[in-house]
Structures are given as C-alpha cells and as structure tokens.
Amino acid sequence: MSKLKVSKFLASSMVLVCLAVICSGKIHRHHATNITPNQMHKVTLDPTEKVKLTWMVDWPEKNVFFQIKNGINEKYSWFALGFSRRGEFPLTDFCIFQRENDRIDTNIDAWASKDGREIIIDHQQDCISIARTSKDEIAFRRKFDTCDEDDFPFHEGTMYIYWMRGEELLELGDDRFPTPDLPESDFGMVHLQLLRADSISIPEKNVANVDIVVKDVVIPTYDTTYWCKIQKLSGSMKRRHIVEFEPLIRSQEGFVHHMEIFHCETDASVDIPLYEGNCDDLPDEARVCSRVMALWAMGATRFTYPKEAGLPFGGPDYNPYIRLEVHYNNPDLASGVVDNSGMRIKFVDKLRKYDAAVMELGLEYTDKMAIPPGQLAFPLSGYCIAECTKIALPQEGITVFGSQLHTHLRGVRVMTRHFRDGKELVELNRDDFYLQHFQEIRHLRRKPKVLPGDALVTTCFYDTRGYQNVTLGGFSFRDEMCVNYVHYYPATELELCKSSVSEKTLADYFEFMKKKDHQNIDIRKGRAACYQGIEWSLPHVNELFTMYTNEPLSMQCNRSDGHRFDGFEWEGAPVTEVPIQPPQPYTSCSRGGKTLQNSDDCDMFGMCIY
C-alpha cells in the first residue's frame, strides 16, 4: 500500500481515521498519498472547549470526513451534528450517534420536523460511519449532495452547524421521536465554511511580527464610532513582505465590528502627526493614509498569504507611518467599556515572488443607494466595469487568491460575478447564506485570473422585513454597505473599483417620483429625505430596482491616493449588462418538487435562500 504522507504534527487519532478511510477504499490511493495537515480543519463546538470537530474535504469524490472528539463520553450517551439552513432548528438535517453496550454502534440520518417538536428518521441513510480509534470518538463521512430531498446539500458559503448531546439514551424504536429537552450547555451552533480551501502554512522559519493596537480607548456612547490611530513603524525600513495578519480583540465581545490598517502613501521624508481619536478629527496630513494593508471583520481569524506572494512594506522610498481604523458598534450606548484591540502583522525579510495587494469591489458608501422596507432579498449591485480594468490592470492580468464579503445588519446573500467579452465566468466568491457576524477572509480554492477588459459585478441582497423606513447606504452600522475586499497579485495601482448610481440619474428619478407619482419629495432636503418621502408600494420598489439595474453609473476607478484613473469619463459610465438571474449553485442531483431546501420564502428571482 502507498505510504501515507501525513505530517507528524497531525493528531494521532485523525491519522488513524484517515488510514481507516483509505483502507476502506473511500478515498482513491493517488489522492490519499497527498493528504497534508493543511487539509484538516478544526473548530470547538461547546463553551467548555472540550468537544472538538475536525473535518477533511475530499474534493475529487465530493465527500466530507468528520471526526468528533468528546461528543460521547462517560457522561453523554448520544451526540448529534446538524446542518441548518440559516441556524433555525426546524428542518435541520442531523447525523445522530448513540452509545450502547459501551460502543458507539447506533448511527442515524434524521431531520427535525417543521415545527421542531420531533426528530424524524430519514428513509435514506447518508451518514456513513468509519473506523474509530477510541470510545469518545465519532468518525463518519457524508457526500456534498446526497440527492435526498430531506438532506441539506453542503455548499461553499457559510454553514450553520447545530450540535446537541444527551445523557439518557434516545428511544429509537419508531420512525420518529420527540425532540429532547436539553439544558443550554448541551446544544448550540457554530458558523463555518465547511467546503473550504486548504489552510496555508508559512514556509519561512524566521518570521517577525509587530502589533498595531489602540491604547485604553473608552468606547464612546454612540451607536457607531470610527476610531483612528496614527503610528510610526520603528526599526529598519528595509523592504519586507507581510505573510500573515491576525486580530487582537481586547474588549468585550461584539463592540469591535471591523478593523483596517492603512499605509500613508506619501514621500518617505514626510512626517505624519501621531494621533489617536475619532476618525472625523484626523489631521489633514493623515488623509494620505488610505492604502489598505490589512483588514478584519467579525467572525474572521488570521489570514495567511500563499507562499508565492506577500504584501510589501518598507524600503528606501516607503513612508513609515500607518493608520489603524477601528469600527466600534455600540447600539445599546454602553458606557465605560475600555478597548485595546488591534492587529498583529507577521513579516519576513526574504521577498517572495509577487507583491500582493487589496482591492475594494462593490458599492460606494453613499446615501445615493437605498433599500426599501419590507423586502425579503432586495438586490443592490456595485460594478467594476470593463473600462476600468482595461486601463488599470497589467496585460497579464491579476490572480485573486482571497476574498472578504462585507455588509451590515441586513445583508443575507453576497456574490461577485466575473464577465469577459459578455460571457459569464466562474464567480469570484459567493455566499448564499451570508451572515454579517461571520465575515472571514476566505482563501479561494480556484484562483481566478482577472484580465484587462473583464467586468466584476458585486451584488448584495438585503432583508428589510420588519423595518418601517428605507435603509440608506453609508458608514453607520444602521446604514448598509456592499463590499468585496479581494486579495490578489501582482500589486497594481487600482485600489478601489466601485460604483453608485449617477448623480443625474438620481436627480431625474426623484423628479419623476415627485411629478408623475406625486410622492412627498423635496430635493432641497437632500437624498435621505427624498427616499424617506416615497411610499414603498410594489410598483415603486420595482421602479427603483429598474433604475439601479439599467441607468448610468458614477464610477470610482481609483488609485490608492483617492484619485481616479485618467482615460475615461467615469461620471455617467454605462452599466455593465449582465443576466439578472445568477447561475444556480452546483448540484449533481435532479431535484423535483418541494424539498427541504425550498420554502415559501424566495427572492424576486425565484432563489429560495431561506
């Protein structure tokens, strides 16, 4: 048998599971010989951090292999791992394991009833047990898509993983049993990307780091605060590559919504005043501190660059000043909360092959864009038009290796679509089950090449059911955003490729709504008041959608200094024509009729994302 190339650093139990899987013929041997530690993904399930879930994605065979440690032990007789659509318990798809006679010899594929009161055993059993190495271990596999209408297909977006456990044995004699009544310590949910790219290790041995943090900030008693710190990097300013960055969250959970580090793009000899305070009062000299170096948002962990690329900093022409920006979210106006958060940057002296960079795609942060109330999934699209990439990208194009999707409270689905010569290519990133509290930077398994003349369209869908007023674009947490931060190489001058509706189009729209539809609009009061003066009936919602989809743009094709590229008239730019209906997610099965995945709640394109 071929020798299994598994790192000695892997936990021995997982190695034995992998060996058992391979010996059972569930993974082809030529795939098995290439198993590495980076294919093993781990998360803690319970608050005591004792129940560990480890999984491995077998992309060629479209299987996921799971191992659960301490789910069943001397205290607990059964354990269930569930796959929920958006975190709700009803209709959650479960794999249930039970210990009897000192062995875990019961394995059931089941699902929660629509009212959540019963667990119904599935007619098709798809949770396949594999070898175990200890009494407290559960190991099984499941296909991405089982072609079972009662199973939830695995996808590459955010997965909502439900878990529960119990001390008393379950009564499994019938085809269903009552949902167990459990204490809060014995059930829960985690968010993760199940079908994810392999993790990345730093190959260099000599890695240094620097911490960029705020100091003893008393978070203001405002709903939204952007806090800035200007810091000078110390030590030798030789040219280096950043290879990883990670958050340092040092306050109560939930107050820090996102953070960014910017470089001050100016001559190396220019001094920037040191500053720490509200970003609104930033010194004028610090306005040049706008080139993105690192970023983090709620739910994310560390981000590691691929071995061929690193983010450059330092050198004889490099200004040593940087700006840390922290977005505090304080909806309850809590007082006396002290924060010392920031980010840790890891770097190496030996330069890698490519300089990497970050580019913003999507919508401008502006109240020119609005979302009507009472909508299930209203779409807004931000365009990076072909004319911009044609001017700004090198002839050989760029390779995108990472992506972070970003909205505020109402975002429920985000995607960036890729077009070349009028034809749609594979999406850059897509999350049909987006959660604004889980905004990790994701490595892309397929690293798409974006060429000059390509168009990128980032669309965000918003759920405003229950809201009485229109939601506007803007910086506040109660406003909305639609952004995709893409990490790519080689670095270019293109920092921002975003859009909004053109000023003329919006003025004409408000004039039309005032005169033809007799809406309560006074243009002198500003955009927000105009939008708020509209009665959002279905025809008016459709008119707004049509205007955003078809009318000219105000295009931001910007360098890192904030100035637009020359060579095109960006105000009034034509909108990129794209099919309104995005392609369906990949499935190998033919599904007919109403399934577990489809409910009565579908968006305006017929996509059932709830």
In this predicted model, what pLDDT tens digit does every residue of 548-591 receive, in sequence order? 999 999 999 999 888 999 999 999 999 988 876 676 665 667 54
Take residue 457 and report the two structure tokens written for it. Answer: 């369209």
pLDDT at position 82 is 97
Better pLDDT: 254 or 159: 159
- Catalytic residue, from 191, 226, 467, 540: name it: 226
8 Å CB contact between 164 and 84: no
CB half-sphere exposure, 387, CA atoms < 13 A: 22
**CATH of segment(s) 202-355:** 2.60.120.310
Model confidence at 599, pLDDT cuts 50, 70, 90, reads very low
Give the Å distances, CA to CA, from 592 to 126, 142, 290.
19, 22, 51
Asked if the 361-588+602-610 domain carries CATH number 3.50.30.50, the reply is no
8 Å CB contact between 101 and 28: no
Model confidence at 516, pLDDT cuts 50, 70, 90, reads confident
pLDDT at position 10 is 37
Q: Is 406 a catalytic residue?
A: yes
- DSSP notation for 57-78: EETTTTEEEEEEESSSSSS-SE
Contacts of 114 (CB under 8 A, 6+ apart): 90, 91
Q: Is 228 exposed, middle or buried (0-12, 13-18, 19+ CB in 10 A)?
A: buried
Topology agreement, domain 12-192 and domain 202-355: no
pLDDT at position 20 is 46
64-73, 89-98, 128-137, 339-348 — which is least confidently predicted?
128-137
pLDDT at position 76 is 92
Model confidence at 610, pLDDT cuts 50, 70, 90, reads low
Residue 608 reports pLDDT greater than 70: no
- To the nearest 10 degrees (0 to 180), the angle between helices 538-550 and 503-515 is 160
Query: Which residues, in sequence order, are bridge partners of residue 457?
Result: 383, 417
Three-state secondary-structure class, residue 587: coil
Integer Cα distance of 411 and 416 in angstroms: 14
pLDDT at position 431 is 95
In this predicted model, what pLDDT tens digit does every residue of 463-500 receive, in sequence order? 999 999 999 999 887 899 999 999 999 999 999 999 99
In this predicted model, what pLDDT tens digit does every residue of 173-193 receive, in sequence order? 789 999 999 999 999 999 999
Query: What 3 state SS string does 517-559 have?
Result: CCCCCCHHHCHHHHHHCCCCCHHHHHHHHHHHHHCCEEEEEEE
What would the mean pLDDT of 21-50 be, rounded to a whole number?
A: 69
8 Å CB contact between 385 and 425: no
pLDDT at position 19 is 39
pLDDT at position 443 is 96
Residue 117 reports pLDDT greater than 90: yes
Take residue 64 and report the two structure tokens written for it. Answer: 């996921």
Model confidence at 34, pLDDT cuts 50, 70, 90, reads low
Q: Is 263 a catalytic residue?
A: no
* Global pTM value: 0.87
Integer Cα distance of 264 and 317 in angstroms: 12
pLDDT at position 147 is 92
Superfamily (CATH) of domain 12-192? Cellobiose dehydrogenase, cytochrome domain (2.60.40.1210)
Q: Where are the domains of the chain?
A: 12-192, 202-355, 361-588+602-610
Integer Cα distance of 331 and 603 in angstroms: 29
- Catalytic residue, from 41, 155, 258, 406: name it: 406
Give the Å distances, CA to CA, from 555 to 251, 362, 583.
38, 11, 26
* Whether residue 320 has a cis bond before it, omega within 30° of 0: no
Tokens 């999934």 found at: 377
